[in-house]
A and B are shown apart, each in its own frame.
Chain A
Amino acid sequence: MKNKIIITGLFALLIISFNSCKKGFLNSPPYGQSTSADFWRNADDAIAASNALYSFLGDEYLFAHTEQTWDICSDDQWRAGDHPEDQAIEEFTYEPSNVQLNDSWSRKYEVISRANAVLINVPGIDMDQTLKNRILGEAYFIRGLIYWQFYKIYGQVPVITEADVINNDFNKPKASLDSMHQRIEEDFVKAADLLLLQNDAANTGRATKGAAWGYLAKFYVYRENWEKAIEYGNKVITGPYALAPSFGDNFTPATKNNPEMLFSIQCTEGWTENVTSIYSAPRPWGGWGFNEPIKDLEDEFETDDPRLTYTMAKIGDIIDIGGSSGPTEVYAGLTNTGYFFRKYVSWRPDGGLDNNMNIPLLRAADVYLLVAEAKIRSSQNGDAEINAVRDRNDLPDVENATMTELMHERRVELAGENERHLDLMRWNRAGIINLPAHYAIDRGPWKPGRTFVVPKNYLFPLPQRQIDLSNGTLVQNPDFD
């Protein structure tokens, strides 16, 4: 009896040990996750990967806030808020260790990495060609968009493309200026080629040909290639991207995806958060009170320009902030300068910030003015495009507009949309304005005179953290060593 028990026991033990010796015992399956080897199977995977191209853009440390920090350098706004590091940016005393620089660096590369993954893997998927083209177009577009942003802020950065990902080569030196240009141009051109003219209702908000053409027009204006700027700009103007009936439609949740909105970060209440709204709204009204416009900007608006009310709130304006407060007057002390950017903020009827606002990145109106500028600067007449933008505001037409009128129009039309400081630098490079003198002007307590050093302050320094981590590969921008 006893021996039987023992033998049975031993036998049981042996079975268990054999069981644990069996093949597969030491293999850990990746439950619920795919690996890159078994992911890219079909159109659904490709669509999911294309969704991921967009999902990071609205991150607080990407376009929702950090990329909006650079325009505090302009003459439109005071930094406000409580990020002490912003002072150095506004006053051109920033150093490579400035927090804002490193915050967004790896996030931008994350978006590039998602685009590269699509460009490497989607071509091999057996799927509908139209859809495949759209998805590849989206990847080129998003990658181009990020390199374009890099280019505007830092000039030159490491360019990571499909081949680098395949070769696991990430510690690269800065690309030459020519390769930066080439990368941006090529990506947007390919995107324009592959993308749809318009997306169906379920896909509104994905990049379109219009968005790619718009960025190409802007790129060529920066490159002072007037012919191409006009060519691509006109594709937008003659395309299905009509200006909204009212300027304000662009900043209202109900009409946020009107055809003028070439590209914006899409936000939906309860699903994604519009962090730009939180940053822009005054503190007592539920926001964090950053980026406050100054009087100098208000003064730029012509009398009766309705764009003023949509662009910025000022003391005495009545704004419906919903809930128990309802329509409420903007009072002195609500913000420091007395203003806040109205463009980015809307309140829900039941109170609280409305997360259904989108974050605009490129509007057709911007492209109209780019074409106008290209025409003016290549000795042509740009009145038609300027007046198209002015007309919907019932403002009188301009005639034989010069850069003076153009610069005014860009400032009021695009105030707060992160164009002003970049425009001013562009115009200074071209000798149209004297930016150091312009920035030296004292514009009151919220914008005292500042020292802009040419060429040092055309660019921001690369983040010190990245230079340290690159172990000598990444070289700092001139004048920041």
Chain B
Amino acid sequence: MKRFLFPKTLFLLISGIFFSAFAMAQTVVTGRVTDESSGEALPSVNIMVKGTSKGAVSDANGSYSIGLAANESVLVFSFTGYTTKEIDVTGRTQVDVTLLSAAASLSEVVVVGYGTQQKKDVTGAVASVKGTEVQNLPVSGVTQALQGRTAGVNVVRSGGSPGNAGSIRIRGTGTINNADPLVIIDGVPAGGLNSVNPNDIESIEILKDASASAIYGTRAANGVVIVTTKRGGFEQPSTISLNAYTGFSNALKTLDMLDAATLVELKRERYTNDGLPVNEVWNNADNAVQRTNWQKELFGTGKVNNADIAISGGGAKSSYMISGGYYDEKGLITNSFFRRVSLRVNSDHKVGKRLKIGESIQLTNSKDNSLNTLSAQDGIIWSAIRFMPFIPVKNADGTWGTSKASNEYGDINNPVFTANNTDASNINNRILGNLNAELEIIKGLKLKANFGLDANHYTGRNFSTIVTDQTRTTNNNSLGRNFSESYSLLGEYFLSYNKTFADLHRVDFVGGYTAQTFNGDWFSAAKRDFINEAMNQRFLDVGQTLGNIGGNRSYDALSSWFGRVNYDFDRKYLLTATFRADGSSKFAEGNKWGYFPAFSAGWRISEEKFFDNVGFIDELKLTGGWGQLGNQNIGGLQYLALISGGGRYSFDDNTVVGATQSRLPNYNISWETAEMTNIGLSIEMLKRTLQANFNYFIKTTRDMLLSPPTIGTVGTLGIPDQNVGILRNQGLEIDLTYRNSAGNFNYSFSGNASFIKNKVVKLYDGNYIGSVLYGRPLEEISRTYEGSPIAVFYGWKTDGLYQTQDDIDKDANITNDSRKTAGLIAPGDVRFLDLNNDGMINEQDRTILGSPHPKVVYGFNADFEYKGIDLSLFLLGNAGLSIFNADRMQGLDPTYSFNMYAEVADRWTGPNTSNTIPRMTTRRDNRNYRTSDMFIEKGDFLRLKNIVLGYTLPLNLTERAGISKLRVYVTGQNVFTFTKYSGLDPELGYSDGNKQINVDIAQYPQSRSWTFGVNVTF
């Protein structure tokens, strides 16, 4: 019924049995290792006898010699920067070997949607990141590790709290709407990347242009990230690898705030300048005593620990990879943490000759807490910056310091108390897995099926204690619990066929059907009035009064047909055509289906006859493509006018609940479409030591989906997403890599840069798109206008401060300004510019002040290796962008009852004392701290993101312990940053979806960390 075994396996088996009888017999194999393209000798190549820990190293001439026992027949040649080669040496004693430089990577295979392609055949824009590049970095998830690794892929960090992944932006911000790319983990379209243990990753492919990603149609408008995890190989002996690291982190920086004595002086000055009696509390000498630097109290030392183990191997019919990992990060702030326990089992099986079955399962349990760190109203970082420096963390009697005594001390609760008192956590348990089958019907024609499951079970808890000693009190303690379950089922079936005709025409087809459902189900319950707040009493049973109970479910689905044809003629001319039809439950009947075509072509110029004479270029390929992609990353049911319950009220203490429309409907809501054109050039030259890729693209997003801030006359109900406009991103991406070696010294340098221009081509309603108003002053900062990039800064222009009354009297900007005649503008106030020349400063004088988008985002990587010592450096930079420092805007403002930035000590106190920091006053007549260019700063930075120094112990020392590799290393993260930016951290990210970017609202800053680790492979 089954044919017995593969001939080669059979042969090995027989020879194994045969030779085992002569186990003592010993053969010596000798030979020379050279570079395949240059023919030069390769020294220091590791040569291992497969299945044993026995090894040798080639000498300066590339020569080697190794003894083989009778049952040993396969040698493995490996060398940094070169592709590993296995050779069966049975019956031979002289074996010369050539190794192919990994730089000659066009022979590499890349994972594309629903298949793989040889890199040299790829006509779309695809970037690959090897798993090794992202391993053992002290980050909670792979998203962070991707930052700066390849051109056109930007990872934007919105704060550095533990577990905060950041957002991936492929080729700029493609839409004002959700611009996250589609993430596919082992064939399953799955939300978060962060649950994957980075050490499990084999490779990450990023599909950047329409041609590459069109096979994912509707879901691919923002690009596709394909993560492939490690798998065992057939006929591979078991390998065990252990990784562990531990480290600590510290704050990169804290902001300088006024000390107590100076603060009291300035608070008094506010009143005296205004001719008002000084508030009594500022006459209290005790308030001039410096007691607390709140940021230092809040930002402690973080810790990170990671340990994981992976076992992989395989026999003739089955292979496996099993791994387990534990990651534990404690943030800088007390009580902030992220923990993940992960388990993975990947296996592959051959059932008969024509059927292959594979499986991947990932189980993760992660836990983090929910400190409020982002709010500019009462977030704890924002609070720590502003809390009064004379208030102690704790009073002498052990109670927490408080601002309760006076309105002059601000309405902030003690941030250290808040951090310690927070009892809130989130736990996620996720099962992500797939089962796939591949049946070869006839040679070249395969039927494939893939079933995926992504299930997440979330539980959250939040206990609020009674707080009476702080300014913001909580009268009743309460516990809220949330449970939610989401599961997504994927089913897909497709055919693949490839055939070569007449040795010239090669055709590769894949096509099929895929459907995915998304189910959500949740409930929550709360109780109040816990008589006892002890930690072991914080359970719902203990609460005396029932609070809110709620629950609901949701369902969405996608159903799609897809097909792709690759054709190449003589390996020189390459063509790809892709089509996908998508149906989505997000849209109403009639708008459900979208159709997305794409085409691309490639020309391998270096294969042409006329190119034979160009000796220094080894490979040259020109590609071009065009295609359309869809985006439906929006909330469901937006075409319905939903009525929701809620809204509590009572009639003479008889409690009731109201029902009201919760959202306006948009009956016409439809697909957002991204149209992309890509031109690419890839070159390998100088014996493949230098590799370069250039890509130019234009990406136009039409019918951009967005819920814009809307006129207040509609009320406060939810505004549905609307198809609001057209956005264009165009840019150039450059990747360069140089790899070479000199004797035992191997080195490589790689750099990448993306130059992307973002422009809103059209807003259908002709107006602008606003964004969230900032913090307490409700200042508007970012707007999106037609003809400008997304989320530019919008406000007033300034020209220093008025130094004298004469300056004010003569200033043409305020000739007709009523505030001038009313005497409300004084020397030491800001001179705003009257842009519309009406002699008044008003809202009509606002203009675009700057763009938050970097002109260039770049990364630079250098790796060195010498006799087991390895060093790698990774730098990351952004240039040509502005940051709006909103925290400073409020931090300088003396009208608030908060502490102020230390630089306020250098305020204006008389003519020519300052031209940048206004006078002290309690008045806001001139609105000195409105959104203006005073708070725009250059956001350029260059950061040494990672430095890794490692040492691999020589094999001859470790092999006695059965260890095939033992490496110890130290890693530094965010080691130093070159920037002129004055805030905590120039990596700011998003603060209102894509509608507000690079505005400093005192985000959780990133930290500098050092870790020490070890890898052991048996």
Interface residues of A (CB under 8 A from B): 1-2, 5-6, 9-10, 13, 16-17, 20-21, 25-37, 39, 45, 48-56, 80-82, 84-85, 87-88, 93, 95-97, 99, 102-103, 105-107, 109-114, 117, 158, 160, 170-172, 199, 201-206, 257, 266-268, 270-272, 283-284, 286, 288-289, 333, 336, 351-353, 355-356, 445, 451, 463-471, 474, 481
Contact = CB atoms under 8 A, between A and B. Distances in A.
B643 interface: yes
Contacts of B842: 95, 481
A29 B641 contact: no
A284 B645 CA distance: 37
B552 A114 contact: no
A25 B584 CA distance: 9
B444 interface: no
B713 A171 contact: yes
28 contacts: A9-B437, A9-B439, A28-B555, A32-B552, A33-B644, A34-B643, A35-B643, A36-B661, A51-B649, A51-B657, A52-B659, A56-B647, A82-B407, A85-B924, A99-B778, A106-B713, A106-B714, A113-B661, A113-B714, A170-B711, A203-B651, A257-B652, A268-B650, A271-B650, A286-B473, A451-B822, A470-B711, A471-B766
B388 to A, nearest CB: 13
Contact of A20 (B355, B476, B559, B645): B559
A39 B712 CA distance: 25
Ordered nearest first, which 4 A-B pairs have the shortest CB separation? A52-B658, A106-B712, A110-B715, A55-B647
Interface in B609-664: 636-637, 640-645, 647-662
B900 to A, nearest CB: 13
Given A51-B657, A93-B822, A205 B713 contact: no
B650 A117 contact: no
B280 A333 contact: yes
A94 B286 CA distance: 36
Contacts of A102: 712, 778
Contacts of B202: none
A286 B470 CA distance: 8
B474 to A, nearest CB: 9
Contacts of A25: 515, 517, 557, 559, 585
Nearest to A172: B713
B318 to A, nearest CB: 17
A10 B554 CA distance: 31
Nearest to B280: A333
A201 B652 contact: yes
A17 B512 CA distance: 11
Given A202-B654, A286-B473, A270 B545 contact: yes
Given A35-B643, A80-B407, A352-B475, 5 more contacts: A84-B924, A158-B713, A201-B652, A266-B653, A288-B471
Most buried by B among A110, A267, A351: A110
Given A30-B642, A82-B407, A110 B716 contact: yes
A336 B476 CA distance: 28
Contacts of B411: 82, 288
Contacts of B656: 51
A355 B655 CA distance: 14
B649 A96 contact: no
Contacts of B665: 36
A272 B406 contact: no
A445 B658 contact: no
B658 A31 contact: no
B930 interface: yes
Nearest to B472: A288
Given A31-B553, A88-B925, A21 B559 contact: yes
A82 B410 contact: yes
A158 B447 CA distance: 64
B532 interface: no
Given A25-B515, A28-B557, A81-B407, A54 B652 contact: no
Given A6-B355, A87-B922, A97-B843, A31 B554 contact: yes
Contacts of B686: none
A430 to B, nearest CB: 27
B583 interface: yes
A351 B467 CA distance: 12
A36 B664 CA distance: 10
Given A28-B586, A270-B528, A352-B473, A55 B559 contact: no
Nearest to B844: A481
Most buried by A among B552, B645, B651: B651
Contacts of A333: 280
Contacts of A467: 843
A35 B642 contact: yes
B716 A36 contact: no
Contacts of A110: 715-717
A284 B585 contact: no
Nearest to B843: A464
Nearest to B923: A87
B868 to A, nearest CB: 50
A171 B410 CA distance: 39
Interface string B216-238: 00000000000000000000000
Contacts of B927: 95, 97
B268 to A, nearest CB: 15
Nearest to B931: A97
Contacts of B647: 51-52, 55-56
B350 interface: no
A465 B924 contact: no
A351 B474 CA distance: 12
B714 A206 contact: no
Most buried by A among B449, B644, B662, B843: B843
B765 interface: yes
Interface string B548-570: 00011111111100000000000
Contacts of A52: 647, 658-660
Contact of B1 (A1, A37, A257): A1
A469 B771 CA distance: 11
B770 interface: yes
A117 B449 CA distance: 51
B277 to A, nearest CB: 5
A151 to B, nearest CB: 15
B637 to A, nearest CB: 5
B911 interface: no
Contact of B583 (A26, A158, A283, A355): A26
A271 B780 CA distance: 34
Nearest to B406: A283
A50 to B, nearest CB: 8
A451 B822 CA distance: 9
Nearest to A105: B712
Contact of A445 (B277, B592, B649): B277
A76 to B, nearest CB: 19
A17 B560 CA distance: 11
Given A26-B592, A28-B556, A266 B584 contact: no
A32 B637 CA distance: 12
Given A93-B822, A204-B652, A26 B713 contact: no
Contacts of B922: 84, 87
A471 B765 contact: yes
B471 A283 contact: yes
B493 interface: yes
B822 to A, nearest CB: 7
B930 A35 contact: no
A107 B767 CA distance: 23
A270 B476 contact: yes
Nearest to A61: B716
A272 B711 contact: no
Contacts of A356: 653
Contact of B648 (A20, A80, A272, A464): A272
Contacts of A288: 411, 471
B584 to A, nearest CB: 7
Interface in B432-469: 437, 439, 447, 449, 468
Contacts of A111: 715
Nearest to B663: A33
